[in-house]
Chain A
Amino acid sequence: GAVVSQHPSWVICKSGTSVKIECRSLDFQATTMFWYRQFPKQSLMLMATSNEGSKATYEQGVEKDKFLINHASLTLSTLTVTSAHPEDSSFYICSATPGLSNYGYTFGSGTRLTVV
């Protein structure tokens, strides 16, 4: 079945630094990838949708300059949290789909970001 690999699984960084999270589709071409954020005991919140080769579409309230998304190839999307602060500490999850009708969406295993 479809597999999405997310790396790293966890990361600790200092306040003010930037962190990059990678999301790869291993056995299919992902025309569209999604980034979610999840705080403890809450549901997943969609942050942005990215299509290969074009700019990401951010959900309302998500700062595009803080959460940089790149989807340069059909198998890789990256999320960079810039100038991270403790309130950015969260569980970040990516999802990918080939964009074909009825194919579905595959999720990565998530990245636990802790900003100290």
Chain B
Amino acid sequence: DAKTTQPPSMDCAEGRAANLPCNHSTISGNEYVYWYRQIHSQGPQYIIHGLKNNETNEMASLIITEDRKSSTLILPHATLRDTAVYYCIEEQGAQKLVFGQGTRLTINP
């Protein structure tokens, strides 16, 4: 079963930063937190992942709390193309990804 909790939906204005929260209170020490997004009728697209430290790449930043029980995905300058369902996933047993319900992010013009 999925072990992460995310708000079902969020809205963000185009050009603003989108901050998507996630709770993963049962994560163990060697399990990564992964973020993917899915645009309608496509396969999930990798965004970023992390273990303990904050991470940044060309798509987003990932802020992980010190106790690792929650994280926030930041899309610094959201565009209309960022409208998608965003999944925060706790890698289970360091071997597989079990998806929760995700957050439906809508970027508004």
Q: Is the CB of B96 within 8 A of A34?
A: yes
The reply to whether A93 and B44 contact each other, CB–CB distance below 8 Å, is: yes
With both beta carbons as reference points, the residue of chain A lying nearest to B45 in the complex is identified as: A107
Interface of B is mostly: loop
Main SS of chain A's interface residues? Answer: strand
Given contacts A6-B43, A107-B43, 17 further A-B contacts (CB under 8 A): A34-B96, A36-B99, A43-B2, A43-B87, A44-B99, A46-B97, A49-B96, A93-B44, A95-B44, A95-B97, A102-B51, A104-B34, A105-B34, A106-B46, A107-B46, A108-B43, A110-B41
- List A residues at the B interface (Cβ < 8 Å): 4, 6, 32, 34, 36, 43-46, 49, 91, 93, 95, 101-102, 104-110, 112
Q: Which residues does B use to contact A, with CB under 8 Å?
A: 2, 32, 34, 36, 38, 41-46, 49, 51, 87, 94-102
